[in-house]
C-alpha cells in the first residue's frame, strides 16, 4: 500500500531564515505530487504541483519554491521566510488517473510558525 | 476560474442522526470532479468520497453519500448515523478535467460537531 511522509511535523523559524520541507511517497511510482498551504481556520490553497521529475508548476506567486529531485520526493523551500509564510503545509499525491478525478491522498502535514 | 462555496461555517448533529453538509460550485468546464475530505483536529486530510461530473449515479462510500445535483451545481455530503468520531472540519473540493492534473480548489470548510 502507498504511504506519504512529511517532515518535520512542526517547525518554528525566524523571519529571514531559510526553509526546507520534505515529502516522500512510498509504494507507487511516477505519482503526481502537490504542495498545499492552509492558513488557520481556512481551506487549502494549492502552491505547486508536479507531474514528473523536474516538472514543477507554480500556482501562485510567492516567496516559496519547489523541487522534485527524485520520482517520489517533493521539496518545498524558501531562501528567506516571511511572517506570512506561517501555516500548515500539506503534501499530497495522486496516481493521475483521470477516471478517478486524480484522487489525492495527503500527508500528515508540517505546521510552520515564522516568528 | 472555478469557485467552491460552503455556506455553513458550523453544523451540529445528534449522534446516530443523519446530517447534510452543503457545497456549491461554479464552473464552465464540462468535465470535472468533486471531492469531500475530512480534517480532524490532528490536521490530516482524509479522503471521503469522489463524484465525477459524468457519473450517472450519486457516489456512496459506507456512511457517506454525495447528493450530486448537476443542474443546480451542488454536491452535498450526507453522513448517515453520525458518530462522535465524525466531529471534524469537512472540505468540499473541485478539480477540472482535461489537463488540470488534479489541481484541487477547496471550499472554506464546515465544522461538524456530533453531540452524544
Cβ contact, residue pair B47, A96, below 8 Å:
no
pLDDT of residue A67: 95
User: Distance between CA A90 and CA A109 in Å, rounded?
Assistant: 4
- CA A77 to the chain's CA centroid: 9
pLDDT of residue A101: 67
Query: What would the pLDDT profile of A34-89 be if each residue is shown by its tens digit?
Result: 999 998 878 899 999 999 998 999 888 788 999 999 999 999 999 999 999 999 99
Tens digit of each residue's pLDDT, chain B (116 residues):
678 999 999 999 999 999 999 999 998 888 889 999 999 999 999 999 999 998 889 999 999 999 999 999 999 999 999 999 999 999 999 988 766 677 889 999 999 999 99
CA separation, residue B107 to residues A51, A95, B113 (Å): 24, 23, 18
Asked if residue A23 has pLDDT above 80, the reply is yes
**Neighbouring-strand partners of residue B57:** none
Cβ contact, residue pair A103, B35, below 8 Å:
yes
Residues of chain B with C-beta less than 8 angstroms from the C-beta of A88: 43
Asked if residue A99 has pLDDT above 70, the reply is no
**DSSP label of B98:** G
User: Distance between CA A65 and CA A75 in Å, rounded?
Assistant: 8
Residues of chain B with C-beta less than 8 angstroms from the C-beta of A43: 4, 91, 106-109
User: Distance between CA A51 and CA B90 in Å, rounded?
Assistant: 27
Q: Rounded to a whole number, what is the distance in Å from the CA of B42 to chain A's nearest CA?
A: 8
Q: Rounded to a whole number, what is the distance in Å from the CA of B107 to chain A's nearest CA?
A: 6
Residues of chain A with C-beta less than 8 angstroms from the C-beta of B108: 42-43
Report the alpha-carbon angle A26-A65-B26, nearest 5. Answer: 85
Residues of chain B with C-beta less than 8 angstroms from the C-beta of A106: 37, 44-47
User: Distance between CA A68 and CA A77 in Å, rounded?
Assistant: 11
| Mean pLDDT to the nearest integer, A15-21 | 97
Amino acid at each position: 500500500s502507498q504511504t506519504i511522509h512529511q517532515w518535520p511535523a512542526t517547525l518554528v523559524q525566524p523571519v529571514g531564515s531559510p526553509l526546507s520541507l520534505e515529502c516522500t511517497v512510498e509504494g507507487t511510482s511516477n505519482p503526481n505530487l502537490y504542495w498545499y498551504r492552509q492558513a488557520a481556520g481556512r481551506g487549502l490553497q494549492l502552491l505547486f504541483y508536479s507531474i514528473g521529475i523536474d516538472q514543477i508548476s507554480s500556482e501562485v506567486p510567492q516567496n516559496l519554491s519547489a523541487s522534485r529531485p527524485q520520482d517520489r520526493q517533493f521539496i518545498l523551500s524558501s531562501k528567506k521566510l516571511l511572517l506570512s509564510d506561517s501555516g500548515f503545509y500539506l503534501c499530497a499525491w495522486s496516481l493521475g488517473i483521470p477516471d478517478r478525478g486524480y484522487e489525492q491522498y495527503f500527508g500528515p502535514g508540517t505546521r510552520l510558525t515564522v516568528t | 476560474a472555478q469557485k467552491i462555496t460552503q455556506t455553513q461555517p458550523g453544523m451540529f448533529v445528534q449522534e446516530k442522526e443523519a446530517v447534510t453538509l452543503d457545497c456549491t460550485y461554479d464552473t464552465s468546464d464540462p468535465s470535472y470532479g468533486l471531492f469531500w475530505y475530512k480534517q480532524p483536529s490532528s490536521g490530516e486530510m482524509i479522503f471521503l468520497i469522489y463524484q465525477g461530473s459524468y457519473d450517472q449515479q450519486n457516489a456512496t462510500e459506507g456512511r457517506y453519500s454525495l447528493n450530486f445535483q448537476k443542474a443546480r451545481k451542488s454536491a452535498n455530503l450526507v453522513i448517515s448515523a453520525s458518530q462522535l468520531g465524525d466531529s471534524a472540519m469537512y472540505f468540499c473540493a473541485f478539480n477540472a478535467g482535461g489537463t488540470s492534473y488534479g489541481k484541487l480548489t477547496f471550499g472554506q470548510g464546515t465544522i461538524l460537531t456530533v453531540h452524544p
